[in-house]
Amino acid sequence: MARMPDTLATAVSHSLEIKHSRFIAHAAPITDAGAALQFLQQVAVPDATHNCWAYRHGNDYRSSDDGEPAGTAGRPILAAIDGQGFDRVMVVVIRWYGGIKLGAGGLVRAYGGTAAECLRLSPRQPLIALAELDVHPFDDLGTLHAALAAHLAEKQAETFTPSGVSLHLRLPADQVDPLKNRLRDATRDRIRVETRTEPGQPND
């Protein structure tokens, strides 16, 4: 199984000067695309020459060259996010032009390099693959709640039926089989456990 990517533990910044142009990268963990654009609004400097950015949130990603030649800023920033093994991250690289043109290759190295160096130096937070389960019916709530706590399962919804309670759970993917086995042993295999989502990408 492929290793899960990391996100950032906290927002970070890193600055470089390249041929008199000043580059500052601001990076932050994000919960969704809206949070990425909100972070852009927080850190963008209106009178800077360019505010270029990229974010990755699972299969959702976007980037902007903000007036730099196409493909010389946003895409190298996104490549830095992916190259450093990050997900759920937004990086904004702000440039103040210093009077010396860098050329397309120089811009790619400057934006991608500033973003990569910022991420490389940052504290990482592992992302955990989550799965969702439906468990029903269940009448021994004491046993159930002890099992949920032991396997880091969060209750998302609870429905009471004549034959017991039905639960919708979210838990780390590697805890799914141990929890199923524990509940089946505890109920002498009287419950049904259905997987709602396949373990894989982290869920929101």
**pLDDT single digits (tens) 40-82:** 999 999 999 999 999 999 889 999 999 999 999 999 999 999 9
Q: Which residues pair with 189 in a beta bridge?
A: none
- The per-residue pLDDT of the chain, averaged, comes to 85
Give 70 or 140, the one with higher predicted confidence. 70
Terminal Cα-to-Cα distance of the chain (whole angstroms): 20
Choice among 8-17, 61-70, 157-166 with the minimum mean pLDDT:
157-166
**pLDDT category, 204, cuts 50, 70, 90?**
very low
Enter the pTM of the model.
0.68
What size, in residues, is the chain?
Answer: 204
d(CA 136, CA 121): 47
d(CA 192, CA 166): 10
pLDDT at residue 92, rounded to an integer? 98
Sequence-ordered list of residues with C-beta below 8 angstroms from that of 31, at least 6 positions apart, any chain: 88, 204
From residue 22, alpha-carbon distances to 49, 67, 71, 103 in Å are 10, 16, 20, 15
* Mean pLDDT of all residues in 149-176: 76
Q: Crossing angle, helix 141-150 and helix 176-186, to 10 degrees?
A: 160
In the structure encoding, which two tokens stand for residue 136, read together?
Answer: 């029903």
pLDDT at residue 122, rounded to an integer? 87
d(CA 153, CA 203): 14
b/e 33-57 (16+ beta carbons within 10 angstroms → b): eebbeebbeebbeeeebbbbbbbbb
